[in-house]
Amino acid sequence: MAQKAAKTLAARNASVLLRTHITTLCLHVVFLLLHWLFNRPRSMWQYFVFVCPTLLIEFYLERLGRPRFNPADGSLRSAGEDLGASGLTEYMWDVLYWTWGCMGAVCVFGDRAWWLWAVIPLYSGWLAYTTVMGMKSGLAGMGGAGAGEPAADSKRQKKMEKRGARVQYR
């Protein structure tokens, strides 16, 4: 049972990547069929502009999470990174899923549905803002970001001040 966790991660990553590639392929085939076979007016330049970042993300996730095996004996050399990790990987999955939704909306409603893709930069801005505000509040007690604000008193300090004792702050 050596490397059971690595083998489990490798199997999970391989299945997630396969499902991702099949879903992407199906969505692109449906979009292109609607464009060429049924002569529905679809703008190909918008398709390329909005889909290229997603294809790059998918390629990056493939490189990041694909398990690698030794060619000689077939043993697991590297399980790949966890594709379910939080942070940047999670954000990339969000962008990928949102683009899939936008492609589906474009297939149903037309080219104006590409405007839904504008949510991604807005979401990025909101994430950056909340990250900066979280860092600012985390650094407030270190004398860095919140230097002008008074330090929070402990219960002991408050009790001593209430009794009239002089409390010295360092």
pLDDT digit string (tens) for 67-103?
888 888 878 888 888 888 888 888 899 889 989 998 8
3-state secondary structure of 38: coil
Quickly count: other Cβ atoms within 10 Å of residue 47's Cβ. 18
Which residues make Cβ contacts (< 8 Å) with residue 31, sequence separation at least 6? 42, 47, 103, 106, 107
Write down the pTM of the prediction: 0.68
The span from the CA of 90 to the CA of 93, in Å, is 5
pLDDT at 115: 85
The pair phi, psi for residue 85, each rounded to 5°, is -70, 155
Distance CA 27, CA 72 (A): 37
User: To which H or E segment does residue 100 belong?
Assistant: helix 88-109
* Residues 106/31, Cβ–Cβ less than 8 Å: yes
**pLDDT recorded at residue 40:** 65
